């Protein structure tokens, strides 16, 4: 009878040692974050209507080149044309990418001012890139407990053994069973094996 108690005590001590070893956790390394990037392109159309630039005042001419005067002239018509304000508009560039035009005014045979009209018709593409960084939490297996029963024997002896099994967070399995007829305690310990058979091919996902 004393032997039976000693077996029970030894079994309990072994179970306590195993549990202490199993529940001692080292600090887990920080997981690598997941990075996801998305890109989009926004097309900004060019100017559909020319915008008017500031008026450019024209100063005095740098030089005057006299020209021959015709013998027969209409003095009144010449004076009228001289003092008249003449307005005009000229287009310098007009294509799919650029438009340039000038409004102008001439008075007393001199260009007084000009106003440029410019339109940039070239489309502009803006690329938007968004980067999302998410933290990934590593899988933390939970402690699992199972209960069951085993039976077996041979031609001369038969036994029934209720059992309890513990699957730990480290994926180790411990079982404790009691053989009813033989009055025996058994503790079984199993460790998970990670076997790697060769290297993965380069094109393996």
The whole-number average pLDDT for the span 40-53 is 77
The pLDDT of residue 205 is: 43
The pLDDT of residue 87 is: 93
The residue written with tokens 């699992």 in the block is: 144
Under a CB-based contact definition with an 8 Å cutoff, are residues 99 and 116 in contact? no
pTM of the complete model: 0.38
- What is the separation, in whole angstroms, between the first and last Cα of the chain? 62
Write the pLDDT tens digit of every residue in 47-102. 777 777 787 777 777 777 887 888 888 888 888 888 899 999 999 888 888 899 98
Instruction: Pick the most confident of 9-18, 21-30, 120-129, 131-140.
Output: 120-129
Of 126 and 201, the one with more pLDDT: 126
Under a CB-based contact definition with an 8 Å cutoff, are residues 129 and 115 in contact? no
Residue 47, phi then psi, degrees to nearest 5:
-70, 125
* Cα distance between residue 90 and residue 114, in whole Å: 10
Torsion angle, alpha carbons of 75, 76, 78, 83, to 10: 140
* Cα distance between residue 146 and residue 174, in whole Å: 10
The whole-number average pLDDT for the span 137-154 is 77
Q: What value does the mean pLDDT of the chain take?
A: 77
* Cα distance between residue 73 and residue 84, in whole Å: 18
The pLDDT of residue 138 is: 59
């Amino acid at each position: 009878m004393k032997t039976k108690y000693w077996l029970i005590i030894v079994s309990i001590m072994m179970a306590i040692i195993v549990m202490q070893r199993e529940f001692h956790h080292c600090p887990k390394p920080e997981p690598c974050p997941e990075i996801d990037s998305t890109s989009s392109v926004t097309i900004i159309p060019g100017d559909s209507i020319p915008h008017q630039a500031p008026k450019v005042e024209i100063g005095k001419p740098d030089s005057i080149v006299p020209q021959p005067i015709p013998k027969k002239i209409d003095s009144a018509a010449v004076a009228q044309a001289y003092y008249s304000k003449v307005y005009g508009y000229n287009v310098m560039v007009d294509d799919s990418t650029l438009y340039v035009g000038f409004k102008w005014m001439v008075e007393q045979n001199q260009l007084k001012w000009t106003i440029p009209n410019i339109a940039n018709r070239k489309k502009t593409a803006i690329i938007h890139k968004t980067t999302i960084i998410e933290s990934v939490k590593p899988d933390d297996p939970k402690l699992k407990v199972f209960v069951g029963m085993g039976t077996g024997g041979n031609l001369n002896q038969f036994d029934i053994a209720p059992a309890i099994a513990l699957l730990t967070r480290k994926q180790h399995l411990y079982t404790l069973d009691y053989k009813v007829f033989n009055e025996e305690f058994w503790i079984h310990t199993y460790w998970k094996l990670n076997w790697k058979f060769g290297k993965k091919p380069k094109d393996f996902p």
